[in-house]
Each structure stands twice: as structure tokens, then as C-alpha cells.
Amino acid sequence: MRRRLLLAAVVLASLAGSAVAGPLSEVKYQLYWTHSGSGPDVRVLSADPLPAGSNVAPDNVWRYDYALLNKSPNALYAAYLFFNSDTVNRAAYVSATAPTNWTVLKQGVVAWKIRYQTTVPGSKIPSGGTLLCSGKFSWIGSTVPGSQNYDAVNDGGSESGQTTEDITVAATSETWGRIKSLYR
């Protein structure tokens, strides 16, 4: 009996070592204050101070642009992004966008989530592929919105994680436009 248990433990240890190293998904976000459409969208980093008036209606609409990287060997077909996970009602759903053949559904009331899902096999995100989607929400918090919890669902199961901020520099054309405006 001991020999069988020892053999089972060795087999399980070898299987664990052959598993995919690291997380099976990664979600990066960029955050924008949209002014409820009353001005140009403004990129805001989580370390920035909260822009004046950005948490007061009607100018308190924000947008997360998400890039969900599928690191799993299995195709990704659903993702859930969570808001108000601490059950403090600071964010309210406005809208969301997803690629063609993907549906968007808001689920929940105070602690709510946006579900992005496809049932079309050709629209699933393959291993190494990225799902690009966004979510708009109104914000009444006293600080800049930050990272969120998420679930990524693929043909092999699901994984939970936390989004990370994409702090890459603005596109060249956007930067050049800002530089030119300084000399006008």
C-alpha cells in the first residue's frame, strides 16, 4: 500500500512539473476619462490624481480598453471583468464593446461584471492570441479607478487573475500632435 501511495505521489509530482509554467492568461488595460462625450478622451494612469470633476455626473464616464492574452494551449471563448468587487458601489455600467461574433452581457447589481463571450468556433481566441474589448462605466470614487479581478474561460477550464495597467507610451501620432500644439 505504501509503495502504491509513493508511486502515485511521484506520478503527480511529474505531471505538475510538466504543466504550463505561469498564468494561462493575462489582462492589460488602458484607462480613459471620456467626459461623457463632452471632450476628447484623456488617458489617465492609476498613479495620477483624479481629474477634477471626473467623478461627478454627467462628466464621470470612464473607459477601460482591455487586451486579454491567451497563454493557454486551449482556445479562449469567454472573459469576465469585475467591478465593485469589494461591494462598494463606485462604478455603474454604461456600455461595452467586443469583436464581431462576441456578445457582451452585464451581470449583477452592486458587485457586477461584464461577460464577453463567443459561441462561434472560428471566433475563439487561439493560444498566443489577444482579445481586444472595452467597458464604459460611470465613476463616483475618490481615486482613479485601478486594476480589477477577471476570469478567463477556455476549452480546458477557467483561470482567475487581476488586470495590470499597460503603461506604454502614447502612439507617435498622438505624441507628435501634442508637441505641435506647444508651438502654435
Domains and their CATH numbers in the chain: 24-182 (2.60.40.290)
Higher pLDDT pick, 182 / 59: 59
Measuring CA to CA, how many Å separate 68 from each of 16, 127, 133, 154, 176? 25, 11, 8, 12, 28
Q: Which residue has the higher pLDDT, 37 or 104?
A: 104
pLDDT given for residue 5 in this prediction:
36
Confidence of residue 40 (pLDDT cuts 50, 70, 90): confident
Model pLDDT for residues 10-22, shown as the tens digit of each residue:
333 333 333 333 4
CA atoms within 13 A on the CB side of 151: 14
| Separation of alpha carbons 163 and 67, rounded Å | 10
Segment 75-130, tens digit of pLDDT = 999 999 999 999 999 999 999 999 999 999 999 999 999 999 999 999 999 999 99
CA distance 81 to 134: 10
The pLDDT score that the predictor gives to residue 164 is 96
Q: What mean pLDDT value characterizes the chain?
A: 83
pTM of the model: 0.79
